[in-house]
Amino acid sequence: MTETISRSDRGKKNMRVTLMGAGTNLVLFFTKLAGGIFGHSDALVADAVHSLSDLLSDLGLILAMHFSSQPPDQEHPYGHERFETLAALGTGTLLALNGTGIGYEAVQRLVIGHYGMPAVWTLYIAAFAIFAKETLYQITIRVARKTRSAALRANAWDHRTDAISSVIVLIGIGGSLLGAPYLDSVVALIVALMVLRIGLVTAWEALQELADRGLDDAVLAQIREVILGCEGVRDLHLLKTRKVGHQALAEVHLQVTNPLLSVSEGHQIAERVRMSLLQAVDDLVDATIHIDSENDEEGGAVLPPRSVIDEKVESGLLARNLPLPQQMTLHYLKDGVVICLRYPFPPAASLESLQAQEKQIQEALQGKVSGLQRVDVAWQTSATEKE
């Protein structure tokens, strides 16, 4: 299982590496822009716009991380992790828009045939950008894996994309210097398409998370395996999962092996399953467990509440001059209700007399309670004896 870190440490690590990226992108933006303008490189200008979009997304990510690191409160009981998802959506949208704009300008230059000849020293700027962004990628992806931040992971891959785009820029500038001036604009178009694709993918993933997309099949299979390995569980159904930022939540209905178990035993089974899931499944921070006596996916009969059954049992027994039970336990099953009645063991009672009275009790309640499946009568030797 992935190492667990505190909310505070996670926020600090994410913030530190994001500030580092923002500072680097600020330097790269001005360096590429100046180099592209004065060095006559359209590809370098396009790459500068890419760095600007990265800088703006970093600023948005910093704000999102500030809010998402806050603990849950009364208005946000699940925490503030969605701010990271919103930051990823904003980053993706901005990248897609910038990619579209850069691509349009590159196509215009190719159609018109207006090519510039970049200066030789622009190669050094592209090489510096490659080194800086690849270093940022390595640092950021390491922190993203440790803190399990989807927004930071997207930012890390954005750094890697920047490094790749700068490699293409380097090739384009070199090709232009070697006698193919159109390569600079071609490279600008390629970079634009890369930026557009990354933006669309990032935005789509964020939208899927905001729409409560479930966890992938491998994680669902792991959850099922953990649940079915717990004692007292027969089967599971209605498994639902979703992500909130880097955290995952799950809801599931469990069918227990004994449909007549007590409430306290059912609660213990649910707690064991919940703790097993939290220990075994990475990123899972909470699981809501519903205990079912039977598979209720298709629903069942609407059965009367205890107050109605109490009244029917009392009236049915008194009408035949039969004693009222000392304790009544109800078991609601899909096709009906099972009524378990407890009576004190009569002194010197014979087996035949107990069986006869049990039959009278069962006959007295037949047809009295809607959805009655059967009546079980038990005799206990002490009023304090428990199940």
For residue 233, the 8-state DSSP code is: E
Query: Which phi and psi angles does 149 have, rounded to 5°?
Result: -100, 115
Query: Which phi and psi angles does 188 have, rounded to 5°?
Result: -60, -40
Point out the least confidently predicted range of 208-212, 337-341, 373-377. 208-212
Tell me the DSSP string of 243-301: EETTEEEEEEEEEES-TT--HHHHHHHHHHHHHHHHHHSTTEEEEEEEEESS--TT---
CA distance 30 to 32: 6
pLDDT at 360: 93
* Cα first-last separation, the chain: 40
Tell me how many degrees the CA angle 371-375-378 measures, rounded to the nearest 5.
155
Given a contact cutoff of 8 angstroms between Cβ atoms, the answer to whether 249 and 238 are in contact is no
Is pLDDT larger for residue 115 or for residue 374?
A: 374
**Whole-structure pTM value:** 0.65
pLDDT at 1: 47
The mean per-residue pLDDT over the stretch 43-54 comes to 81
What band does 367 get if pLDDT is binned at 50, 70 and 90? confident
CA distances, 139 to each of 2, 20, 129, 315 (Å): 18, 10, 15, 76
pLDDT at 26: 93
The mean per-residue pLDDT over the stretch 343-366 comes to 89
226: closest CA among 265, 295, 288, 272? 272
Amino acid at 113: G
Given a contact cutoff of 8 angstroms between Cβ atoms, the answer to whether 102 and 192 are in contact is yes
203 pLDDT more than 60 = yes
pLDDT at 384: 46
Q: Which two tokens stand for residue 95?
A: 């990248």
387 pLDDT more than 50 = no
The mean per-residue pLDDT over the stretch 159-171 comes to 82
Give exposure, 45-54, as e/b (b: 16+ Cβ within 10 Å).
bbbbbbbbbb
Residue 239 three-state SS? strand
Given a contact cutoff of 8 angstroms between Cβ atoms, the answer to whether 32 and 45 are in contact is yes
Q: List, edge to edge, every strand of the sheet that includes 336-344.
A: 327-333, 336-344, 372-380
Q: Which two tokens stand for residue 138?
A: 């390595």
Domains and CATH numbers, the chain: 7-210 (1.20.1510.10), 217-292 (3.30.70.1350), 306-380 (3.30.70.1350)
116 pLDDT more than 70 = no
